[in-house]
Amino acid sequence: MSTHSSNDVSYAEVYRAAHILEADRAAIEILQPAGVHVVRRDRVIHALPAPSSEVGAYFLAVPERDAEKARKLLSRAQSDGVLDSDAGQVLP
């Protein structure tokens, strides 16, 4: 688990997505409606012009106090087929 602190709030990364659309879907359709503040971290290398050649991933981080709730919501969304479990991973 990756944890970072910002303005006295510790953030934990709870989701990893290969594509920005899947990361945004998880944030906008799953976490934000549940009242979970989410920050997307872009760790994709954009050195090459072709989108399929990008290396890295997009990570979603939430306040540590909401991490377990976020993981449960994301896991349920994957089980229900709302999120593609091949395109994203709930982080422990």
- Write phi, then psi, for 8 (nearest 5 degrees): 65, 15
Q: How far is CA 67 from CA 4, 7, 16, 44, 47, in A?
A: 13, 17, 14, 23, 32
Model pLDDT, residue 74 = 98
55: containing domain: 3-90
- Domain of 76, CATH number, reads 3.30.70.790
Cα 82 to chain centroid distance, Å, stands at 14
Model pLDDT, residue 42 = 87
Return the percentage of the chain with pLDDT > 90, whole number. 68
pLDDT single digits (tens) 1-44: 455 555 678 999 999 998 899 999 999 999 999 999 999 998 77
Closest of 52, 70, 63 to residue 16, by C-alpha: 70
Task: Please tell me the total count of domains within the chain.
Answer: 1
